[in-house]
Amino acid sequence: MKWSLSQLRKFKDNAFTFNQNIQLEDVTDRRDIFHIHDIEISGDILHSNRRFDVNLHIEADVSMIDSRSGEPVIYPLSIDTVEIFDESIESDSEIDEQDDNLHPVLHEIDLEPIVRELIIVNIPNVYTESESLPSSSNTDNWKVFGSEEELEKERPVDPRLQKLQSLFNSDETED
């Protein structure tokens, strides 16, 4: 995942395209993550003046613990980003703190540290494949609503406000 700038300058008129499967060890120290495997990195690098724009797509499978059942599950990770490498920037101190996608570059572009960071940041803290609520959470009388409309259908009207409900119904028929 390293390319020298002289190698990339040869592709000035068209994009340099890459597609690689890599293996990264010790990506994260989280205890709920077992392994990150099948990491496929693809994209292209566009060169203009002293700037290299890297369109990056990362796909990986993250083996982690299901937050409800405690069983091992596979979380499919997919990340799309554009990283910019600029030769005119000499150090990280010159980069505005709000632009995380801008990187200084001297002699080569190395995507491995960026890929590591993107994977770490995009792994969810909580993930489950279970549709049901856990049995140990004392949720016997709970109802799970999918949208506001379903919630409104199930909510009974307060008897004190029942007369006001007729006003809403008459306004709808006037339109």
Predicted pLDDT at 172 = 58
pTM for the full predicted model: 0.68
Mean pLDDT, the chain, as a whole number?
Answer: 81
Predicted pLDDT at 59 = 96
Q: Which tokens go with 132?
A: 């049901």
Identify which of 96, 105, 123, 121 has the alpha carbon closest to the alpha carbon of residue 45: 105
Decide if 82 contacts 54 (C-beta within 8 A): yes
- List of the chain residues with pLDDT < 50: none
Predicted pLDDT at 80 = 96
Predicted pLDDT at 8 = 83
**In which element (H, E) is residue 55 found?**
strand 51-65
Predicted pLDDT at 105 = 83
Predicted pLDDT at 9 = 81
